[in-house]
């Protein structure tokens, strides 16, 4: 596998009421092409902040980010937790799905609709739904549309920040299976943020554990799950029901 992303000593501070708080401490992270990395840790541990830094939406205070071998920034897409917030309520679904293309390419409307129809069928979104508005779709249908929008640019990396936690249990399983199928089909690279350690087991090959903005453990899932080195990871895995250590 080849290197897609390398974070080197990333630090981030937020200032709240003029008090500076460090939310990420010296984060080193390697993501290789085609792999699926789970980013886990309790609420407030810095997962979303780290993903926003990778997306270029938030600037780190120090540290380096390098991409691939030639330093050209690859395409990074994101799927966030709440599908309803992710779509513009005044735009038809197809326009939102095609938006990342429309911003970058000058083409006729039909070109974008065609691309949109193709990707919608890949994510299991029925054809007739793409002309509706978000309020006319279910949560699961919107999340399929959000995934379609993330994939329409053929991204090098997809960041999935709790992509199923706002959905019903039955819909969650379908979306997770869809994400796994898409990863195999397109050799996608995922950073998967979740609280659900059962899902991690199912979906990812590597795990990165954050606690209070620090990496406390990282490695292959099979190694970390069978023999966590860190006490916090062990507690997290026990609480998540994925290990049972006497
Ligand atoms: N824009 C901001 N301004 C100030 N503080 C922030 C900001 N965004 C996040 N924080 C703080 O940074 C810390 C890390 O937040 P972050 O959203 O990265 O956590 P998280 O691991 O994604 O949590 P969750 O699992 O609840 O989504 C928290 O203490 C949070 O309050
Ligand atoms: Mg978060």
Look at ligand 1, atom 18, and give the residue with the nearest C-alpha.
46
What kind and span of H or E run contains 116?
A: helix 109-122
The H or E element that residue 37 is part of is: strand 36-40
- pLDDT above 60: residue 107: yes
Per-residue pLDDT tens for 23-79?
999 999 999 999 999 999 999 999 999 999 999 999 999 999 999 866 677 899 999
In a domain, 149, yes or no: yes
pLDDT of residue 244: 59
Q: Is residue 237 part of a domain?
A: no
Q: Mean of the pLDDT values across residues 138-157? A: 91
Which numbered atom of ligand 1 lies nearest the CA of 162? 27
Output the residue whose Cα is nearest ligand 1's atom 27.
43
| DSSP characters over 176-219 | HHHHHHHHHHHT--EEEE-S-HHHHHHH-SEEEEEETTEEEEEE
Q: Is residue 64 part of a domain?
A: no
Exposure pattern of 154-166 as b/e (b: 16+ CB <10 Å)?
ebbbbbbbbbbeb
Q: Which of 204, 83, 91, 76 is nearest to 147 (CA)?
A: 83
> Ligand 1, from 21, 23, 60, 164: best to mutate by most atoms within 8 Å of Cβ?
23
How much is the pLDDT for 173? 87
- pLDDT, average across residues 139-144: 90
Nearest Cα neighbor of 182 from 161, 203, 211 is 203
Which residue's CA lies nearest to atom 10 of ligand 1?
14
Centre of ligand 1 from the C-alpha of residue 50, in Å: 10
What are the backbone angles phi and psi of residue 159, rounded to the nearest 5°? -100, 120
Residue 124 lies in a domain: yes
Provide the number of structural domains found in the chain.
1
- Report the atom number in ligand 1 closest to the C-alpha of 51: 18
| Full residue range of the structural domain in which residue 91 is found | 78-155
Q: Separation of 71 CA from ligand 2 center, angstroms?
A: 28
DSSP character for 138? -
Q: Which residue has the higher pLDDT, 191 or 68?
A: 191
The ligand 1 atom at the shortest distance from the C-alpha of residue 46 is: 18
Say which ligand is closest to the CA of 44: 1
Q: Which residues contact 240 (CB under 8 A, 6 or more apart)?
A: 196, 197, 198, 200
137 inside domain: yes
Do the domain assignments include residue 36?
Answer: no
Max CA-CA distance within the chain? 63
Mind listing the pLDDT tens digit for each residue in 123-141? 999 999 999 999 999 988 9
Look up residue 163 and give its two tokens: 């992509």
CA angle 58, 91, 186 (to 5 degrees): 60
Percent of residues, the chain, with pLDDT higher than 70: 96
**d(C-alpha 30, C-alpha 143), whole Å:** 28
The residue contributing the CA closest to ligand 1 atom 1 is: 14
Least distant ligand from the CA of 53: 1
Comparison of pLDDT for 165 and 142, the residue scoring more: 142
Distance 44 CA to ligand 2 centre (A): 7
The structure's pTM equals: 0.91
For ligand 1, atom 4, which residue shows the shortest CA distance? 14
Residue 69 in domain: no
Q: Name the nearest CA neighbour of 145 among 203, 204, 88.
A: 88
Residue 88 in any domain: the answer is: yes
Burial label for 190, CB within 10 Å (0-12, 13-18, 19+), is buried
């Amino acid at each position: 596998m080849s290197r897609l992303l390398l974070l080197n000593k990333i630090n981030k501070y937020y200032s709240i009421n003029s008090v500076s708080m460090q939310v990420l401490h010296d984060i080193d992270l390697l993501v290789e092409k085609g792999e699926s990395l789970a980013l886990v840790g309790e609420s407030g541990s810095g997962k979303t902040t780290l993903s926003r830094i990778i997306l270029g939406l938030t600037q780190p205070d120090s540290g380096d980010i390098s991409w691939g071998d030639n330093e050209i920034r690859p395409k990074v897409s994101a799927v966030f937790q709440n599908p309803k917030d992710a779509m513009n309520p005044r735009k038809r679904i197809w326009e939102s799905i095609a938006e990342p293309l429309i911003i970058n390419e000058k083409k006729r409307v039909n070109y974008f609709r065609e691309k949109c129809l193709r990707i919608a069928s890949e994510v299991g979104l029925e054809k007739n739904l793409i002309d509706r508005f978000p309020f006319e779709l279910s949560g699961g249908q919107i999340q399929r549309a959000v995934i379609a929008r993330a994939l329409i640019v053929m991204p090098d990396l997809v960041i999935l920040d709790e992509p199923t936690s706002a959905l019903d249990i039955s819909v969650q399983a379908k979306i997770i299976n869809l994400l796994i199928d898409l990863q195999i089909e397109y050799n996608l690279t995922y950073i998967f943020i979740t609280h659900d350690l059962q899902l991690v087991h199912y979906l990812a090959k590597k795990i990165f554990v954050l606690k209070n903005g620090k990496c406390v453990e990282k490695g292959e899932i099979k190694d970390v799950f069978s023999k966590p080195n860190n006490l916090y990871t062990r507690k997290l895995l026990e609480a998540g029901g994925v290990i049972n250590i006497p």
